Amino acid sequence: MRRTFLKTLVAAAAAATLALPGAAQAAYPERPITMIVPWGAGGGTDATARIVGSLLEKELGQPVNVVNRTGGSGVVGHAAIADAAPDGYTLGIITVEIGMMHWQGLTKLTYADYTPLALMNFDPAGVQVRADAPYKDVKELLAAIKANPGKYKASGTGQGGIWHLALAGMLAMSDIPPSAAPWVPSNGAAPGLQDLVAGGVEVVTCSVPEARSLIEAGRVKSLAIMSDTRSELFPDLPTLKEAAGIDWTLGAWRGFAAPKGLPADIQDKLVAALEKIYKSAEFQDFMKSRGFGVSWAAKEDFVAYMKKSDESLGTVMKELGLAK
C-alpha cells in the first residue's frame, strides 16, 4: 500500500479530529483559494496556471495563491491535488503526465481521481533538427534513421516522458523500431535543445513553442508538427501527415481540476469562471504571445479527452516496454 509520509504520521491524529464541516458553501468562495502546480516555477505549466490564477482572482473576488509542488516527474504535485479536501479551496493544473505515470507504475492516480473542470491548452510535439542538418523534411530524416539504426540520438525530456513517446510513436508508425534512435534523457526541453545545437543529439521532439527562440535565432529548424492542424505560430510548418503520410498525433495538454468529490454547484461555478477566462482577451493574448495553443473542453468532454489520451499513451508505452 502506497501511503504518503504524512498520511502515515497523521493517521491517528486525523481520525480523532472532525473533518471540515461540509455545509455553508452558499457563499463560495469565502476565503483564499490555493492552486497547485505540479511543475516548477518558470515553466509553461507554471505560466499558464499563474495567468489563469490571476484572472480567476478577479472573477471570484478571492485571492488565488499559485503554489508549486514539484518533484518526481509531476507525481508529487498531482498526488497533492488529488489528496486535498474537495471543498473548492484547493484546485490544481493537471498535465498530460497524469495519463502516463500510472502505466509506469509510479502511482495509482489516474484522471478518474479528479473532479474535472476544464482543458485549456494543447501543444503538439514538433520534430526539430539543427538548422544546418542535411534533411529537407521528415521523410529524409526517417530514411536516415532507418538506414543507420542507433546512430542518431534524440532528446527533449526525461526517459519515458511525453516527447520520448512522441518520437517512439512516430518511428513505430513508420515501421522503424524505436531503438533505432536511442533516447538521451534530458531535464526538460531547453537542455535537450541546447544539446541539439551543441551537436550532442540529432533530433529533439519537443513542442514548437519550446523550440521557438532557437528557431527564430536560426539555430534550429522544425520539420513537422504532430497534430491534425497546422500551428498558428508557424503556419508554414506541415503536419506529420502532410509531410510524411504518417497518421500520428501527440501533444502535451494542460487542464484544471479539483480533488474528487467536489460539490456540483462549486464545480459549475468554477467551470463558468474558467470559460469566461478562456474567452477573455487577456488569456487569449497571453497564450498567443507565449506561442501556446489553446483548446477548450469542460467537465464530461474533458473526461472523455483525458480517457482517450490515457489509452493512446498506454498503447505506445506498452510498445516501448515502458509500461509495467
Partner 1 sequence: MVKSDIIIGLILTVLGVAVILHAQSFPDIPGQEYGAAVFPVIAASALAACGLLLAFKALRRRATVPEGVDVAHSMAGITPAGWLKGLATIALVLFYCLFSDQLGYIIAMGLVLVGGMMLLGVRWWVAILISAIAIFAIHELFVVLMRVPLPRGTIIPF
Partner 2 sequence: MLAIEKAVGLVATPSVLISVFIASVFGMLVGAIPGLTATMAIALLVPFTFFMDPLPAVGAMIACSAMAIFAGDIPSTLLRIPGTPASAAYTDEAYAMTRNGQAETALGANLMFSAIGGLFGTAVLIVAAPALAEVALQFSSFEYFWLAVLGLTCAIFIGAVSPLKGLISLFIGLLVSTIGLNNPAGVPRFTFGYTELMGGIEFIPAMVGLFAVSEVLRAMVHGAIDLPMTQRKIGNLFANWGKMVKTYWRQQLRGNTLGTAIGILPGAGADIAAWVAYALSKKMSRTPEKYGKGHVEGIIESTSANNAALGGAWVPALVFGIPGDSITAIVIGVLFIKGLNPGPTLFIYNPENIYAVFLIFILANLFMIPLGWAAMKGAGYILRVPRRVLMPLILGFSIVGSFAVNNATYGIVIMLVFGVLGFLMEENEIPVAPCILGIVLGPLVEENFVTSMIKSNGSFLAFFERPIAGVLGVFTILVVLSPLIGMVVRRMRGPATKTA
**Contact flag: residue 291 with partner 2 (CB under 8 A):** yes
Cβ proximity of 116 and 82 under 8 Å: no
Q: Which of 96, 201, 240, 266 binds partner 2 (CB under 8 A)?
A: 201
- Closest to partner 1 by CB, 192 vs 291, is 192
- Stretches 126-134, 135-143, 186-194, 234-242: which one binds partner 2 (CB under 8 A)? 186-194
Taking each helix axis from N to C end, the angle separating 281-290 and 264-279, rounded to the nearest 10 degrees, works out to 70
Q: Which of 58, 149, 177, 216 binds partner 2 (CB under 8 A)?
A: 216
**Is 33 one of the binding residues for partner 2 (CB under 8 A)?**
no
Distance of closest approach, residue 280 Cβ to partner 1, in angstroms: 23
71 binds, among partner 2, partner 1, none (CB under 5 to 8 A by kind): partner 2
Type of residue found at 246 = I
Nearer to partner 2, 44 or 297 (CB): 44
- Residue owning grid cell 479528479: 114
Options 26-34, 125-133, 238-246, 252-260: segment touching partner 1 (CB under 8 A):
26-34
Helix/strand/coil percent split, the chain, to 5: 45, 20, 35
Could you tell me the smallest distance in angstroms from the CB atom of residue 295 to partner 1? 29
Out of 127, 168, 193, 237, name the contact with partner 2 by CB under 8 A: 193
Q: Where are the beta strands (DSSP E) in the chain?
A: 33-37, 64-68, 90-95, 114-124, 126-130, 154-155, 203-204, 220-225, 251-259, 294-298
State how far the alpha carbon of 208 is from the alpha carbons of 93, 288, 312, in Å: 21, 13, 21
- Three-state SS for 49? helix
Contacting partner 1 within 60-89 (CB under 8 A) = 63, 65, 67
